[in-house]
């Protein structure tokens, strides 16, 4: 199991939590804008509060056929309480089901979180999908 985060604080907290739980995790401190996962290396990819649309093909390619992605981050409704939040880091309402339109979507929505400003999706990669990304 791998866990990737840019924050050294998050990595250290993750290591401590994994040690307490007795779980083996390979923690990777990296910027997802630069780091690329291996092709078809995972059965599950989870992403929270991170958005770089250019990375999506690589995350999709990192899943084995039949693998699952769980993804959640802020959408444009975040601008209501936080007008200065950078728009490029916000999903459009309804965007995730479009990105994963040819996947098996178990659940998706656009009113998550306490402020109802987060979008999410849980979906499965089709069998027979060819990888569309490679490591730099």
Number of structural domains, the chain? 2
C-alpha Rg value of the chain to the nearest Å: 16
Q: What is the pLDDT of residue 11?
A: 94
On whether both 56 and 25 belong to a single domain, the answer is no
Does the structure show a pLDDT above 90 at 129?
no
> Does 129 share its domain with 100?
yes
Question: Do 39 and 16 belong together in one domain?
Answer: no
Structural domain boundaries enclosing 2: 1-30
Confidence of residue 131 (pLDDT cuts 50, 70, 90): low
Tell me, yes or no, whether 51 and 6 share the same domain. Answer: no
Residues 25 and 36 in one domain: no
- 1 and 60 housed in the same domain: no
- Those residues whose C-beta lies under 8 Å from the C-beta of residue 50, and which sit 6 or more positions away, are 32, 73
Return d(Cα 94, Cα 109) in angstroms, integer.
8
* Same domain assignment for residues 24 and 77: no
């Amino acid at each position: 199991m791998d866990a990737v985060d840019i924050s050294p604080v998050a990595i250290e907290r993750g290591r401590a939590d994994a040690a307490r739980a007795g779980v083996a995790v390979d923690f990777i401190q990296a910027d997802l804008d630069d780091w690329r996962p291996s092709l078809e290396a995972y059965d599950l990819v989870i992403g929270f509060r991170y958005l770089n649309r250019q990375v999506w093909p690589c995350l999709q390619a990192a899943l084995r056929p039949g693998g699952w992605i769980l993804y959640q981050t802020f959408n444009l409704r975040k601008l209501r309480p936080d007008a200065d939040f950078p728009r490029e880091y916000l999903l459009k309402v309804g965007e995730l089901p479009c990105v994963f339109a040819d996947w098996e979507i178990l659940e998706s929505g656009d009113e998550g979180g306490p402020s109802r400003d987060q979008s999410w999706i849980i979906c499965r990669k089709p069998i027979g999908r060819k990888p569309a990304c490679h490591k730099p």
